[in-house]
Amino acid sequence: MQRLLTLASFALALSASTAIAADIVVEAGEGANERLIEALISAQPGDVVKIGPGMFELTEGLSLDVDDVKVQGAGAGQTVLSFKGQTGAGEGLLVTSDRVVLEDFAVEDTKGDGVKSKGSDQITFRNISVVWTGGPKAENGAYGVYPVSSKNVLIDGVFVSGASDAGIYVGQSEDIIVRNSRAEYNVAGIEIENSKRADVFKNTVTHNTGGILVFDLPNLPVQGGQDVRVFDNDVVENDTPNFAPKGNIVGIVPKGMGVMVMANRNVHVFGNRFDKNGTTHVLIAAYPNEYDDDNYMFVPRGVFVHGNTYGEGGFAPDGEVGKIITDVSGTPVPDIVWDGVTRIPEYFSWVNAEDQIYIDEAEGTTFANLKMISQMLLPWSTSPDTDIAGYKGSLPEPAPVKLPQDSGS
Amino acid sequence: MRGRCPAGQRGVFQATLIAFLTLLHLFAATSARAFSPDAILAAKPPKLLSEFGFFADGAKQVPAEGVIPFHLATPLFSDFAEKYRFVHVPAGQSATYNPDEAFDFPVGAALIKTFAFPADLRAPDKDVRLIETRVLVRQEGGWQAWAYVWNAEQTEAELKIAGAKVDIAVTDRDGAPLSFTYAVPNKNQCKGCHALNGEVAPLGPKARNLNVEHPYASGAENQLAHWTSAGILSGAPAPADVPSVPVWGDAAAPTEARARAWLDTNCAHCHRREGPASNSGLYLTWGESDRVALGVRKRPVAAGRGSGDRAFDIDPGHPDNSILLYRVESTEAGVMMPELGRTQTDPEAVALLRKWIEEMR
């Protein structure tokens, strides 16, 4: 009987061990690209793919399509995946599975995007960096960290530099946290686009063209971006000339933009520190291009800006947008600017309380409603409304985003 | 039974068995192994292509019994590679017809595609070198995709899960030497294109792209009619009632139909509402009727430097202002489309798309 029990427990242990998570270790050196590709393909749910320290010179994009896998480096300063010699694929690493954690490694010089997730549920980007080492250039990839069509997105402690579109870009996704991260020398530091329920906080965005963008764009399968909180961020010295290739919507962002809210709904901007953003600290605007999409709402609705601190700003308005603003507002540009574009029926009648723009800032904060009425930059009033007191009020704040994979901040 | 078998008879039986086994062995050595449904259904793919037994003669791409060759009216461009396609459906079963999507194949079915390069692209049947054979097998849990790379002797192809790089040197269509590194996709890259709603799915065997005659050994016949009479396809209407795409290179067909057929096979596996590029909002399937979704005056979302400093995916009348053409012409990673499956530009396709956009109003 004793022997039988031993056998049974041995068999149990054996069957359990086959299900137990394994470490798949990939060290730098000869054939690392192929070994890394193989490790990511052969990983089983629960496994950890551990990438050793050192420089990995990769020519092929990587991809992971297995649920419940962690890809872990030895640290963003230790494990470097360099894609300088990349010849194929649209990104450095593509994740298409659920409950994946990416942490502690660096990705450099991808030809396209840095690290992308498509259609993932519970994807975590933690303590990773994505850098284009040649500095800001139009030839760099578009996005650094790029979750799209994903749910439950956690971006924590990420560093991105040099993206020719957005450093951290979350698109067409739901339930998003971006925190404790740093974005610099990108066209846009952090961008939340066509997404619902996002908390963007405790990040530093500096030396980008624009700091934090909250956009909604037409002709996409997921629209109706809403319920975004941007708070407790340092949005300072965004002063890199726009280097986006033409055609990209971020090409419209002028150098020295702090936070820009475009065509989105229920966006709360509070507790941020703004300083030395040369065009303006906060811009609230309608989508400026012509489009053909009956489902798209091109004006921002329900924006609440409050409790931020404002240093010097608006001293060097840049580009076409900068000119359009200063033609109306003069220089220096006020701390907070709203283009004042509403839909024609609303212009002639009234706007629902939950769709209005509310500002509640410390005394001395400057503001202008440019009153650029019409759908598409048609004639506007030449006398802006600078009476900030007229915009007092508030909106109920969206509940904090909670993610299943996040035990707490 | 054994006990009652007379000694003499047993000797005859044994001799016959040995002769049979020897014959079988000889057959296996000189030709392919016997066709193996087990290999199709196995959780782990066989290491060698021959273990499937798809070919009576692999080097000559002669299929085994029960493996039927087919071709597509308008195929995908893969660096000028010649492709030999085959389908196997288990005996007594059939794929189910679908007017729009790839047919629904039964468990145990296989789609086999060999990529090869002739020494001279102008003589596609001469001095052909087999590079890889891709196998899609329909298992209980869905489709599995595997790539097998042929050896230099052309006697066997070996499984490559992580893909491979193969140096190619040929004479191009203008008679000039052309050399490049051909990429055999890894398993995840297979899914990069073969994904429908996140699951691996076949791309080629769609009614509209199979609705042409094929030169069978028994004579030319419409492929759908042939599949139906062979019992591997059920539910197909008469070929006249089946949608069809033109052969994209057929100058007699309307430019728009040719361009749309080309986009359908070369782009729409990703660029469709259920595909890997769904988030782009650019949908290039044959049936797409929304002009903006087709790219007409549509601004890009995530094109990055792939925009080529152009504002619209398609600017009607202006191919050189159209991002779509820029990306089809490019061979640069991060710019070129499709992202995978080619390193070369297809000049004839570029010319066709250019003409289509030029004529567009």
Q: Tens-of-pLDDT digits for all 361 residues of chain B?
A: 333 444 444 444 555 555 554 444 444 444 444 678 899 999 999 999 999 999 999 999 999 999 999 999 999 999 999 999 999 999 999 999 999 999 999 999 999 999 999 999 999 999 999 999 999 999 999 999 999 999 999 999 999 988 899 999 999 999 999 999 999 998 888 888 888 888 889 998 999 999 999 999 999 999 999 999 999 999 999 989 999 999 999 999 999 999 999 999 999 999 999 999 999 999 999 999 999 999 999 999 888 889 999 999 999 999 999 999 999 999 998 899 998 889 999 999 999 999 999 999 9
B343 near A CB under 8 A: yes
The better pLDDT of the pair B90, A381 is held by B90
Facing A248 at nearest CB: one of B195, B279, B307: B307
* A171 interaction partners in chain B (CB closer than 8 Å): 279, 301-302
User: Cα distance from A128 to chain B (closest Cα, Å)?
Assistant: 21
Facing B301 at nearest CB: one of A37, A118, A220: A220
Q: For position B16, what pLDDT does the model report?
A: 53
Q: For position B195, what pLDDT does the model report?
A: 82
User: Nearest-CA residue of chain B relative to A194?
Assistant: B279
| pTM assigned to the model | 0.89
B234 near A CB under 8 A: no
User: Cα distance from B339 to chain A (closest Cα, Å)?
Assistant: 5
User: Cα distance from A219 to chain B (closest Cα, Å)?
Assistant: 6
Residues in chain B: 361
Residues 147-186 of B with CB under 8 A from A: 161-163, 181, 183, 186
B188 near A CB under 8 A: yes
Mark yes or no for CB contact B279/A41 under 8 Å: no
SS (H, E, C) chain B: CCCCCCHHHHHHHHHHHHHHHHHHHHHHHHCCCCCCHHHHHCCCCCCEHHHHCCEEECCCCEECCCEEEECCCCCCCCCCCEEEEEEECCCCCCEECCCCCECECCCCCEEEEEEEEECECCCCCCCEEEEEEEEEEEECCEEEEEEEEECCCCCCEEECCCCEEEEEEEECCCCCEEEEEEEECCHHHHHHHCEECCEECCCCCEHHHHCCEEEECCEEEEHHHHHHHCCCEECCCCHHHCCCCCCCCCCCCCHHHHHHHHHHHHCCCCCCCCCCCHHHCCCCCCCCCCCCCCCECCCCCCCHHHHCCCCECECCCCHHHEHHHHHHHCCCCCCCCCCCCCCCCCHHHHHHHHHHHHHCC
User: Cα distance from A201 to chain B (closest Cα, Å)?
Assistant: 24
Mark yes or no for CB contact A171/B279 under 8 Å: yes
Q: For position B34, what pLDDT does the model report?
A: 62
Q: Compute CA B173 distance to the chain's CA centroid, rounded to the nearest angstrom.
A: 22
Beta carbon pairs, A and B, within 8 Å = 137
Mark yes or no for CB contact A247/B308 under 8 Å: yes
Residue A219's identity, in one-letter code, is: N
Q: Estimate the crossing angle of helix B347-359 against helix B255-266, to 10 degrees.
A: 130
Facing B340 at nearest CB: one of A65, A88, A139: A88
Distance CA A38, CA B164 (A): 12
B189 near A CB under 8 A: yes
Percent of residues, chain A, with pLDDT higher than 70: 92
Q: What mean pLDDT comes out for the span A8-20?
A: 48
* A141 interaction partners in chain B (CB closer than 8 Å): 304-305, 334
Interval A157-169: pLDDT, tens: 999 999 999 999 9
Q: Which residues partner with A117 through β-bridges?
A: A95, A147
* B312 interaction partners in chain A (CB closer than 8 Å): 247
Q: For position B128, what pLDDT does the model report?
A: 97
Q: Say which residues have a Cβ less than 8 Å from residue B42's Cβ, sequence separation at least 6.
A: none
Residue B152's identity, in one-letter code, is: A
CA angle A96, A102, A104 (to 5 degrees): 160
Q: Say which residues have a Cβ less than 8 Å from residue B3's Cβ, sequence separation at least 6.
A: none
User: Nearest-CA residue of chain B relative to A249?
Assistant: B301
Binned at pLDDT 50, 70 and 90, residue A1 comes out as very low
Mark yes or no for CB contact A245/B301 under 8 Å: no
User: Cα distance from B212 to chain A (closest Cα, Å)?
Assistant: 33
Predicted complex ipTM: 0.86
User: Cα distance from B53 to chain A (closest Cα, Å)?
Assistant: 26
Interface test with A, best of B279, B320, B327 (most A CBs within 10 A): B279
Mark yes or no for CB contact A292/B279 under 8 Å: no
Mark yes or no for CB contact A90/B309 under 8 Å: no
Answer yes or no: is pLDDT of A226 > 60: yes
Interval A70-124: pLDDT, tens: 999 999 999 999 999 998 778 999 999 999 999 999 999 999 999 999 999 999 9
Distance CA A93, CA A90 (A): 9
Mark yes or no for CB contact A292/B189 under 8 Å: no
Answer yes or no: is pLDDT of A401 > 80: yes
User: Nearest-CA residue of chain A relative to B164?
Assistant: A34
SS (H, E, C) chain A: CHHHHHHHHHHHHHHHHHHCCCEEEECCCCCHHHHHHHHHHHCCCCCEEEECCEEEECCCCEEECCCCCEEECCCCCCEEEECCCCCCCCEEEEECCCCEEEECCEEECCCCEEEEEECCEEEEEECCEEECCCCCCCCCCCEEEEEECCEEEEEECCEEECCCCEEEEEECCEEEEEECCEEECCCEEEEEECCEEEEEECCEEECCCEEEEEECCCCCCCCCCEEEEEECCEEECCCCCCCCCCCCHHHHCCCCEEEEEECCEEEEEECCEEECECCEEEEEECCCCCCCCCCCCCCCEEEEEECCEECCECCCCCHHHHHHHHHHHCCCCCCEEECCCCCHHHHHCCCCHHHCEEEECCCCCCEEECCCCCCCCCCCCCCCECCHHHHCCCCCCCCCCCCCCCCCC
B10 near A CB under 8 A: no
